[in-house]
Structures are given as structure tokens and as C-alpha cells.
Structure 1
Amino acid sequence: MQSSSNLFPVALISAERRGDLSEDVYRLKPGNSPDGTVELALTRLGLADAPQSRGVPVILLHGSFSNRRFWYSPKGIGLGAFLARQGFDVWVPEMRGHGLSKRNHDYARNRVADYARYDLPAIGAFVREQSAQVPHWIGHSLGGTTLAAALGGKHLGAPAVASVALFGCQVSRTHWPLKIPLVEWTGRLLLKRLGQVSGARFKRGPEDEPAGVMIEAMRWNGLFGRFGEGKQDWWKGLAEVDLPLLAVSAAGDQQDPDWACRKLFEQIGSEHRQYLCLGRQQGFTDDFGHVEMLVSKAAQAEVWPLVARWLKDSLTPLQGAPAEGAATV
């Protein structure tokens, strides 16, 4: 396992054994964005007793107000740990200012556009360099949105991406008050003054979110808003994406509802794609929620094995998928 890179400065800042797993944390300094202070923490999970074992790489992107612990707990529980035990080479980045990633100089101005244009390509390039294989990408919530932005903006794509899985991800749910210019303008002004939104204060998660991300989302939902940046229309760009795709919604998700997740799925032009809604009507034991779709005992029993099956064979319909969504189209 390399502890350096020919791409940009990289340091191995931690190498620990966590039960049967190894946890190596790298600090990446890509230096590819206008803010030269950006540093990204990237954790690799592997089998402690087989350190040289090199499975298929999988990159897991956390959502808003979150960090690497969404994918695996200190006790080694989570989808990331499960996939590592299944033999996959698991990589868990933390976005700017989250978890072990230090806050950059322009932290308050961070946007999904920055993550998509600069950070994800650097992370993907490093993983490919280290593993000598093309990685699969899985994103939850804002992590999935960032992945969609990178794909629609052509910052990521074939042949650097093996497949894409989006969980609880959508960009179409409309907040009608934001269509009123005065409301949107007032919201932007307030967020700029705050600089960040506290996840703990608003009971959204363990991390804060920079104001820039929130302002960006408000712009998407504004009167003439669209999913894009400047002249780049990410939404239109998604129609040109041709990668194996899995999109998963949860029947009980009030934040990113099924209909909106399905709309994003239908916009992506992949030849091989599957859609799955986690709910009782689809044969699951419960109507999963936004977080519970990946972090719960039910997810451990019903969802995680489906993810592993998808990663091993993205062309075969998943058991339990709705008939119209499971078919390869």
C-alpha cells in the first residue's frame, strides 16, 4: 500500500487496527482549487489480517451535517465496515470542514460546485492510483447530490467511474417560499451573516454545514433556479451520463421523497440502471426513513446485502425491486 502519491501531497496521518478491520487515514492536499488551504481526509477500510488484499474499490460519500461515521461506527458497524468484510476496498472521504478534514480558509463559501469540480476528481484519482482499479461510487443525500453534480458537469465519468449508486438523493423537491425573490434574498443575507448552520443546534447531525452550500441550494430552488453552476446545466448533463446506475429511495423519507428521487433517476441517461424504493409495498419489512435506509438494523439485514450484490453485478436486477424499476432499461 502506497503512503504517498505522484499526484499531489499526501500524508498518512493515522494507521489503526479496529477489531478485524484496518483503518488508514490519509490527508490529501490536491491544490487544484482557488482556495489553496483545502485539505481532505480520506479513510481506507480493509481487513486487518490481510493488509495486502486488494478488492474492488468503493468510495462512500456522506450527506449533509455528517462525516465518515455515517458509514462505519467506532465499533466497526456500518455499510462501510460490512463492505470491507465482504472483500471490497472501501474509501470514505470527508468533505471540506467535516470530520477529520480541516476547515479551509474560505469554509463559509464552500459549495457543492467546489466539491464536484475539484474535490471528487482528486479523491477519485488518488483511489485509482492507490488501488490500480476503477472505483464504484456511492452517495447518500448531499453526497449523492454532489456525485450527480460531478457527473452532470462532466467532472467525473467513464472510464474513471465503474458505477454509481444514489441513496435518498433528489434535486426537484420545491420549497415554494423560495420562489418569492424577497424571501430568497433575505435567506441568503441571513446565511451569509451566520457563515454556517449548526447540525447539533438544529438536530440534523454531528457536523456544521457552510453557508455557501445552503445558499447554493436556495439558488437551485429560486424563481429561475436550476441544478447547475454558471453556464453549466448539470441537470441537462445528466442525460448524457452512461454508467451503471442504482438509485434508491425510502418510502418513509420526508426529506427526499420517493417521487423526487425517481425524477432524478429518470433524468440520468444510463443504459443500465435500476430503481429501488425501500418500503412495505416493495416487500421490505418497513417504510425506511432518510437515515434508516442505510443506518439501522433493518438496513443491515435487508439493504446492505443488496448493495454488495449490486457492486458485484450491476446488470442483474436486485431482489425486492419494483418490477418497473428493477428491470435493466
Structure 2
Amino acid sequence: MQSSSVLFPVALVSAEFRGDLSEDVYRLKPGNSPDPSVELALTRLGRVGHEAHRGVPVILIPGSFSNRRFWYSPKGIGLGPHLARAGFDVWIAEMRGHGLSPRNRGYRHNTVRDYVRYDLPAIGAFVFEQNPQPAHWLGHSLGGITLAGALGGGYLDEAQMASVALFGSQISRIYWPLKLPPVEWGGRLLLKRFALVSGSRLRRGPEDEPIGLVLESLRWHGLFGRFGDEQRDWWAGLCTVRVPVMAVAAAGDRQDPAWACRKLLEQFGSAIREYVCLGKQQGFSSDFGHVEMLVSKQAQAEVWPLVERWLRDGSPVPCQAATGELEIPS
């Protein structure tokens, strides 16, 4: 496996065997953003003894307050190892300041806009350089929102993408108090006093989030907010996307409700759009939750095979009820 790149400086910081898996950790220094100190960790999982076989690449993006361990536990369990053992070329990305990616100098000001404009394009370019096949991209929660933003903003090359799968990702849930300008302004003034939001203190996950990301979310959900940056309206841009897309929602998800996940999917202009709701009513064993949809024994038995089917055949459906119609509130 190459430890260098003609694109930008790349270091192979570790190469280990983890049971039947090989684990290569790269550190990318793209130098493509206003903060030149940004470095991105990218973990590749492969099968021991199959190093010469390059399967179809799959890029996994964790959500907020999370890191690569969401997809890949220290014991070699997770959707990442499952797909690697199934023959896919698995890459797990960690955004700037998360997991093995060191905190950059401007960490407190990091935003989804930075991930969309700079980090995801660099990750996609490097993976394509290492394995020049169109890649499948999977994102959970904020990871899926970031993918949607990068596609809607036109920052990712669709010719290098095989499909996109969004898990528990939405931006349509309305927080009515934030529609009142005094509430939004007061919240912004209060939050600017902090550098970060602690995931462990809030019991949301092992990682912290920069306060810049929280302030950006306030702007999205404000009275005149929109899903986009100063230059582009990402929401409007999704209508021009043509990459096959799947949205997976969880019936028991109180954070990112199923109707909102469905609404994000329907904004895509893709000819192939698949929707799956993980709930008893749709034929699954339980009403899955926001995390349990991918990290649980039930997910291992019911959801991981569904994802593998999508990656291989472009159809996730284990039973027709799984993609039944869902009414979206106006």
C-alpha cells in the first residue's frame, strides 16, 4: 500500500494486523484550506492474505461526538470490519480534530462548511488515487449531513462516486425557539464564550465538538437560515445530484425523526433513491434508535446485511414493507 501521494503530503503512521484484518492508518495534510495546520486521519481496513485484491472502496464518515470506533471497535467488530471481510476496500475518515486527526490551530472555529469544502474532497481524491474505482460513501448523523452538503455544494466529483448512504441524517426538524431572533442572538452570544462542547460531559459520545459547528447549526435553524454556506445553497443543489442514494431512518430515533430523513432523501435529484425505515411496522425486530441502527447485535443481524446488499446490488430491501410509504408533514 502506498504511503505517499502526488496530491499532498501523506504519512503512513501505522500498519498493523488485527486478527484477520490489516489496519493501515494514514495522516493526510491536504493544505487546501485557510488553516494550513489541518491534518486528517484515514484508516484503511483490509483482509490479511488478500492484500493484492483491491475491492470496491467504501468510505465511512462518523457522526458528531464520534470517531472511527463507531464503525470499527478495538475487538474488530462493526460495519467497517464486516464490509472488509466481505471483500470491500474500507476507509474510515475522521474529521479535523476528531479521533486520530489532531486538533488544528483554528479548532474552535471548525464547521461543517470546512468539512464540506476542504476535508471530504481531499479524502475522496486520496482514496481514488489509491484505488481508482468509484467509491461508496456512508455517513451517520452529522456524517451524512456533511455528505449531503458536499454533494449539494458540488464539492465532490460524482464521477468518482458509486453511491451514497445516509443513516439517521436530516436537516428539516424545526426548533421553533430558534426562529425567534432574540433567542438565536442570545444563544450565539452565550456560546461564543466557549471553545467546544464536551461529548463525554453531555453523554453524547467520546469526542468533543468545536463551538463553531454549534454556531453554524444555529444559523441553519434560525429565522432566515438555510442549509448552505455564503457561496452556495446546498439544499437547492441536491436537486442536481445524480448519484444513487439510500436513506436509512430508525423508527425509534427521537433525535433525527424518520419523516425528516425521508425529506432529505426526496430532495435529491437521483434517479435511484431508496428509503428504509428500521421499525417493527416495517418488518424489523424492533424500533431501532439513532445509534442502535448501526451499533447493536440487532444491527449486526438485520442492518449490516442490508447495507451489503445495497453496495453490491443497489437494492437494500430485505422485505417490501421496509420501504413503505411514509407521510411527510408539511
TM-score (norm 1): 0.97
Q: Which residue of 1 aligns with 2:282?
A: 282
Question: Which segments of structure 1 move beyond 6 Å, counting only runs of 4 or more?
Answer: none
1:18-54 per-position Cα deviation (integer Å, ceiling 9, x unaligned): 1110110000000000000000000000002222221
Q: Which residue of 1 aligns with 2:150?
A: 150
Aligned equivalents of 1:243, 1:324: Cα separation in 2 = 22
Aligned equivalents of 2:189, 2:156: Cα separation in 1 = 32
Checking the alignment, whether the CA contact within 8 Å between 1:157 and 1:241 is kept in structure 2 is: no
Q: How does 1:169-318 map to 2 (within 5 A)?
A: 169-314=169-314, 316=315, 318=317
1:113-158 per-position Cα deviation (integer Å, ceiling 9, x unaligned): 1101100000000000001212110000000000000000000142
Q: Which residue of 2 aligns with 1:319?
A: 318
Q: How does 1:98-137 map to 2 (within 5 A)?
A: 98-137=98-137
3-state secondary structure, aligned to 2:276: strand
3-state secondary structure, aligned to 2:160: coil
TM-score (norm 2): 0.96
Checking the alignment, whether the CA contact within 8 Å between 1:245 and 1:272 is kept in structure 2 is: yes
Aligned equivalents of 2:198, 2:52: Cα separation in 1 = 40
1:69-119 per-position Cα deviation (integer Å, ceiling 9, x unaligned): 000100000000100000000000101110000000110010101101100
Aligned equivalents of 1:26, 1:234: Cα separation in 2 = 30
3-state secondary structure, aligned to 1:232: coil
- Does residue 90 of structure 1 match 2:90? yes
Counterpart residue identity of residue 252, structure 2 = G
Aligned equivalents of 1:192, 1:96: Cα separation in 2 = 20
Counterpart residue identity of residue 318, structure 1 = V
Counterpart residue identity of residue 162, structure 2 = A
The count of aligned residue pairs is 324
Identity %: 70
Counterpart residue identity of residue 160, structure 2 = A
Checking the alignment, whether the CA contact within 8 Å between 1:252 and 1:288 is kept in structure 2 is: yes
- Please state how far the C-alpha of 1:210 moved relative to its aligned partner: 0.4
Counterpart residue identity of residue 290, structure 2 = H
Checking the alignment, whether the CA contact within 8 Å between 2:274 and 2:323 is kept in structure 1 is: no
Unaligned runs of 5+ in 1: none
Comparing 209-218 with 47-56, greater Cα deviation is found at 47-56
3-state secondary structure, aligned to 1:194: coil
Aligned equivalents of 2:300, 2:176: Cα separation in 1 = 36
Q: Which residue of 1 aligns with 2:63?
A: 63
- Please state how far the C-alpha of 1:313 moved relative to its aligned partner: 1.2
